[in-house]
């Protein structure tokens, strides 16, 4: 059995009835109900004992419906058009196989047809508090978002079938006792967190760690648990998921190149001269992967093909633990001769151009000088270090406005795909993601939005401060919105800055920029709005950073 995975959205106001009717009519629906989100994305009323919740192909043809759904922040079930609603359809609907209850929210398309969205029963009270009448056809107005976690009674209720199942497992008594102790510890930790944080967003990372530890405790026996216990565990472990799972985009050629580079990792290679190496610097999630991938297509550029976080931090003196975990900051004092030798060796072992690895070229045929393009987000805090190692280095500063960038950072933290350090000392949530900024310890028990605001501002303010110390011809500024809206002229300006010829294959980018492997959800200019209310209190901080950029770009 595979449960319907929860998706989290927020309703937008007001609903545009004309657009809703246009999309409904364009589908030329032949029967009712007609599903836009359903088990396996197919036209079925079955609550799916064998499939997860997915968008049907028709949802791709309903951009306005997508806009509505993309603004929810509650878990939803199915979504469908219907012209056969009756009084009983507007009552609570019980899904007995999942222990979840759904409430149906009706958005009128016309007098005879509705768009139906199922909301989890646990969010009913929250919806009612916002003044929504769920039992009638209406246009909805909803402002702001909410944060909610299972109360102690609900948590213990879902934990009970897991406790019972673990007690029946065919394992020795000591293992059973350890499992029961782990489950009890999870419950006690959850109850303690509720006492400390309640339904406040400051506790999000602590709640997340409790659920992760619960899953880790049951990892070895999970496959042995009966269906009901696995169902309960899924409900617990997914109760804090704030967005659909990120799509998997596998670049098999990139994987092959990485495998080859690992083969060369221990070999000593005579490094080439790195002529005017170019370093992209930005806050994390500012679009640097898109920019890096695009510029990598320019003639004569070599890259390491990936970010160099781990490789660089294996060099003695460059890991944060060598500096008592102060931050990822590195300065000119860290750039001694031994460090330069180690870093140039690291780059040389990983160098590639297209599908060709530098290490695979016969020694006599290797170029003695290369133009390197490098992108590692932590370099936002390392400009003086890099400039000391490579005096002729160039920097491309990619800036993304705060709302979109911070929203993407929050999404990244919640995905847990960007863990930089695990079990970091003096950090209650244990795992730290993205770059480690000065003063990070003061962010204990802060909301995830506040953590991301500080990462964004620290990265940008450090870049601004360090670029002020360089000659103006050593750096180039790119605005993320310009890259998205006018990619070709933006990339051409960057190629001129780097003194490189243009690749006409990049002319097609004006039509459609490619998604990158680290894109977590489909691009949407309004994605940041779900964090708009939470970001208002930090408006002064983000405006200060924006004014710093204005001063940086002022003519000399």
C-alpha 431/C-alpha 416 separation (Å) is 9
Segment of 161-170, 225-234, 254-263 carrying the highest mean pLDDT: 161-170
- Other CB atoms within 10 Å distance of the CB of residue 465: 13
> Residue 531 — very low, low, confident or very high, per pLDDT cuts 50/70/90?
low
- Residue among 98, 96, 233 at smallest CA distance from 160: 233
> Residue 106 — very low, low, confident or very high, per pLDDT cuts 50/70/90?
low
The pLDDT of 446-471, averaged and rounded, is 95
pLDDT of residue 441: 96
Domain residue extents for the chain: 7-129, 152-237, 252-551
C-alpha 230/C-alpha 307 separation (Å) is 37
pLDDT of residue 254: 53
C-alpha 204/C-alpha 283 separation (Å) is 23
User: Which homologous superfamily does the CATH classification assign to the domain defined by 252-551?
Assistant: P-loop containing nucleotide triphosphate hydrolases (3.40.50.300)
Question: Are 103 and 127 contacting, i.e. CB atoms less than 8 angstroms apart?
Answer: yes
Percentage of residues in the chain with pLDDT exceeding 70?
75
C-alpha 1/C-alpha 17 separation (Å) is 38
Terminal alpha carbon distance of the chain: 66
Give residue-wise pLDDT tens across range 318-327.
999 999 999 9
pLDDT of residue 420: 94
Which H/E stretch holds residue 480?
A: helix 480-485
C-alpha 214/C-alpha 187 separation (Å) is 9
pLDDT of residue 157: 87
pLDDT of residue 256: 53
The pLDDT of 299-304, averaged and rounded, is 92
The pLDDT of 516-534, averaged and rounded, is 53
Question: Are 78 and 40 contacting, i.e. CB atoms less than 8 angstroms apart?
Answer: no
pLDDT score of 524 more than 70: no
pLDDT of residue 133: 32
Percentage of residues in the chain with pLDDT exceeding 90?
48
Give residue-wise pLDDT tens across range 362-409.
999 999 999 999 999 999 999 999 999 999 999 999 999 998 899 889
Give residue-wise pLDDT tens across range 133-172.
332 222 222 222 356 788 898 899 889 999 999 999 999 9
Q: DSSP character for 50?
A: B
The pLDDT of 319-344, averaged and rounded, is 95
pLDDT score of 535 more than 50: yes
Q: What backbone torsions phi and psi does residue 469 show, to the nearest 5 degrees?
A: -85, -5
pLDDT of residue 99: 32
Tokens representing 298 are: 């320019």
Q: What is the CA radius of gyration of the chain?
A: 26
C-alpha 45/C-alpha 40 separation (Å) is 11
Tokens representing 28 are: 């030329």
- Return the minimum-mean-pLDDT range out of 52-66, 192-206, 303-317: 52-66
Give residue-wise pLDDT tens across range 176-209.
999 999 999 999 999 999 999 998 889 999 999 9
The interaxial angle of helices 448-468 and 539-552, nearest 10 deg, is 20
């Amino acid at each position: 059995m595979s449960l319907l995975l929860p998706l989290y959205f927020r309703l937008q106001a007001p609903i545009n009835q004309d657009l809703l009717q246009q999309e409904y009519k364009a589908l030329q629906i032949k029967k009712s109900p007609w599903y836009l989100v359903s088990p396996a994305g197919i036209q079925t009323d079955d609550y799916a004992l064998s499939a997860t919740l997915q968008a049907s192909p028709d949802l791709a043809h309903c951009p306005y419906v997508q806009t509505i759904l993309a603004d929810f922040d509650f878990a939803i079930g199915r979504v469908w058009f219907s012209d056969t609603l009756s009084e009983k359809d507007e009552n609570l609907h019980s899904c007995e196989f999942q222990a979840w209850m759904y409430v149906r929210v009706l958005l009128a398309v016309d007098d005879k047809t509705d768009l139906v969205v199922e909301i989890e029963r646990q969010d009913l009270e929250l919806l009612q508090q916002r003044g929504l009448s769920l039992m009638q056809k209406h246009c909805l107005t909803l402002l702001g978002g909410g944060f909610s976690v299972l109360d102690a009674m609900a948590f213990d209720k879902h934990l009970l079938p897991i406790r019972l199942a673990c007690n029946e497992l065919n394992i020795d008594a000591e293992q059973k006792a350890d499992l029961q102790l782990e489950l009890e510890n999870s419950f006690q930790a959850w109850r303690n967190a509720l006492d400390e944080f309640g339904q406040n967003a400051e506790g999000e990372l602590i709640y997340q760690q409790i659920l992760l530890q619960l899953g880790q405790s049951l990892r070895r026996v999970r496959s042995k648990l009966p269906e009901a216990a696995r169902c309960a565990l899924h409900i617990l472990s997914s109760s804090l998921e704030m967005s659909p799972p990120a799509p998997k985009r596998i670049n098999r050629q990139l994987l092959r190149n990485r495998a080859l580079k690992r083969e060369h990792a221990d070999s000593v290679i005579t490094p080439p001269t790195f002529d005017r190496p170019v370093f992209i610097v930005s806050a994390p999630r500012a679009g640097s992967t898109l920019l890096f991938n695009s510029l990598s297509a320019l003639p004569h550029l070599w890259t390491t093909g990936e970010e160099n976080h781990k490789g660089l931090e294996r060099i003695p003196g460059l890991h944060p633990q060598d500096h008592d975990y102060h931050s990822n900051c590195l300065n000119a004092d860290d750039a001694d001769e031994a460090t330069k030798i180690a870093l140039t060796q690291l780059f040389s072992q990983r160098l590639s151009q297209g599908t060709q690895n530098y290490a695979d070229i016969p020694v006599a045929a290797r170029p003695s000088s290369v133009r390197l393009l490098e992108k590692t987000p932590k370099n936002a805090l390392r400009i003086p270090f890099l400039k000391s190692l490579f005096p002729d280095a160039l920097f491309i500063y990619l800036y993304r406005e705060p709302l979109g960038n911070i929203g993407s950072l929050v999404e990244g933290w919640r995905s847990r795909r960007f863990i930089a350090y695990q079990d970091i000392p003096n950090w209650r949530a244990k795992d730290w993601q993205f770059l480690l900024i000065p003063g990070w310890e003061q962010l204990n028990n802060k909301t995830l939005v506040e953590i991301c605001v500080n990462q964004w501002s620290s990265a940008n303010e450090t870049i601004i401060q360090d670029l002020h110390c360089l000659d103006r011809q050593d750096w180039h500024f790119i605005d993320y919105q310009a890259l998205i809206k006018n990619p070709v002229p933006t990339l051409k300006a960057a190629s001129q800055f780097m003194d490189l010829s243009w690749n006409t294959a990049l002319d097609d980018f004006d039509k459609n920029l490619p998604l990158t492997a680290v894109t977590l959800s489909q691009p949407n200019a309004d994605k940041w709005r779900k964090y708009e209310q939470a970001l208002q209190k930090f408006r002064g901080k983000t405006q200060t950073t924006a004014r710093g950029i204005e001063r940086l770009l002022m003519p000399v």
